[in-house]
Structure 1
Amino acid sequence: MLLLIDVGNTTTVVGLWDGDGVVHRWRISTDRERTADESRLLLRSMLAEYPGNVTGGCLSSVVPPRTEAWREAMDVLINGDLVVVGPGTKTGISLKVDNPREVGADRVANAIGAVRLFGPPVIVVDFGTATTVDLVAGVGSYRGGAIAPGLEVSADALVTHASALRQVELIPPRSAVGRSTVEAIQSGLIFGYAGLVDGLVTRIRATIEDDCPAVATGGLAAIVVAHTQSIASIEPDLTLVGLAEIFARNLS
């Protein structure tokens, strides 16, 4: 089995891959103070649920202070090679952007996962702390995309800067026309965010004049996607699929 870890700004996703797909996935908070020893103990407790030989691993991280701690923890538990996604990693796609080093490891993994599952061209929408909308065109060339504040970040900012408003549950209201302040906020957040995503996907599709599929991933995808018109499907394990593909390419 492969141990796959994607360290995000808010959430870290840990997955086990058996060659055919993800056997199990865990979502834990990204604790920036967690040591390598604590990370190792946490991983060991997870792996105890699925006894078996972990023969390799792949790590992506957009939180540099956490990358080394997770690498050290994985090194101890893996009986084989560990690939850390970064400059020089073989990915199978070309980064056609001004500065490839600026592209987050998670966006690279998402792009590779989408190409594996759907083929290019494809658009990837990742709903996380930030929402990213990325285009993989041609024969697997990553062209870049858009970055917007995530849904929860937007909700937090609204409450922080508007003293008369309060936090609301992130669920769709009965109607786009909110009949209370709570419903009005929910309408603006859920339906407004769906409109933002549809607008970005439409504009990005127009750059290649191709009605290519758009696939969503990320912890907040399910909240928004049902209210979009542009996204074909949700793939919760898209990043892990990409990490498994990266691992395979770096052993060949």
Structure 2
Amino acid sequence: MLLCVDAGNTNITLGVFDGEEMRGPYRMTTRSDRTSDEYGVILTDILQYNGMNPSSVEDCILSSVVPKINYSLINGIYKYFGIHPLLVEAGIKTGIRIVTENPKQIGADRIVDAAGAYEIYGGPCLVLDYGTATTYDLIGDDGAFEAAVIAPGIRISASALWERAAKLPEVELTKPKSILAKETISSMQAGLIFGQIGQTEYIVREMIRASGYQKVKVIATGGLGGMIAKETDCIDIYDPNLTLLGLKIIYQKQRRRVQK
């Protein structure tokens, strides 16, 4: 089995592939103060709780945008699985050619999403990831990572509201019944959710217009992406497992195949 791990700023997401079948996704909170033993125990516990034997994991691929946890996480995987994980970093084969001004600034998670989207859905495509930040990445018809937009994620925007405005409460991130909100909580929800929908539609429209491509497939992923995708016609596909599938695709390109 192949263990795929994506370490993001808010959560670490993992999935286990047995051939083409995926178990997961499973999530744990990203914390920089965890030791390698803590990470190793949590990972093995998640697998065992879901009916998998950790000793059946034969290889691992890891993408991370949180350098502070890399040492503990990588060593936890090695200590508890006996595997040196393949790290998504510069020089690895992804199938994506980065043509932006500074390729090293593109996060590993976005490269993984781009690789997954291009391999599965083809190009040109726009990959929208609703995570800690909301990212809009344009992949050309030849697999080139051409351009990107980065905006605050919904949770960041929500936190800014109730942390910086003394009288505004913490609210659930859900779409209110109407945009014509009549009290504070639904007013905040309307601003956050409908604001994200409006941002999505405008940025997608303008990126496609500026790119010159006639037909661009728009793929969304990320925890809150499903809620946004339901509310707009500008998103063609919502794939909650895009990152894990992208990791598997990149792993296969390295020819480090799990023995069956």
TM-score (norm 1): 0.95
Aligned twin of 2:100: 97
Summarize the alignment of residues 150-165 of structure 1 with structure 2, pairs less than 5 Å apart: 150-165=153-168
TM-score (norm 2): 0.92
8 Å Cα contact 1:2-1:57 kept in structure 2: yes
Aligned twin of 1:40: 40
User: 1: distance between equivalents of 2:162 and 2:84?
Assistant: 46
Range that drifts further, 56-65 or 208-217? 208-217
> Alpha-carbon deviation of 1:77?
4.2
State the percentage of identical aligned residues: 36
What amino acid is the match of 1:231? I
Aligned twin of 1:186: 189
> Alpha-carbon deviation of 1:73?
1.8
1:114 paired to 2:117: yes
Aligned twin of 1:231: 235
1:170 paired to 2:173: yes
1:218 paired to 2:222: yes
Greater than 4 Å deviation, 4+ residue runs? 77-81
1:172-218 Cα offsets, whole Å, 9 max, x none, are 11211111122211111111111101111111111133231111111
1:140-160 Cα offsets, whole Å, 9 max, x none, are 111131111000110110122
1:62-120 Cα offsets, whole Å, 9 max, x none, are 00011121111222344666310111111111001111111100000000110122011
User: 1: distance between equivalents of 2:194 and 2:231?
Assistant: 7
Structure 1 alignment gaps of length 5 or more: none
The number of equivalent residue pairs is 252
8 Å Cα contact 2:60-2:84 kept in structure 1: yes
Structure 2 alignment gaps of length 5 or more: none
1:30 paired to 2:30: yes
8 Å Cα contact 2:77-2:83 kept in structure 1: no
Range that drifts further, 156-165 or 135-144? 156-165
Aligned twin of 2:19: 19
Aligned twin of 1:50: 52
Aligned twin of 1:240: 244
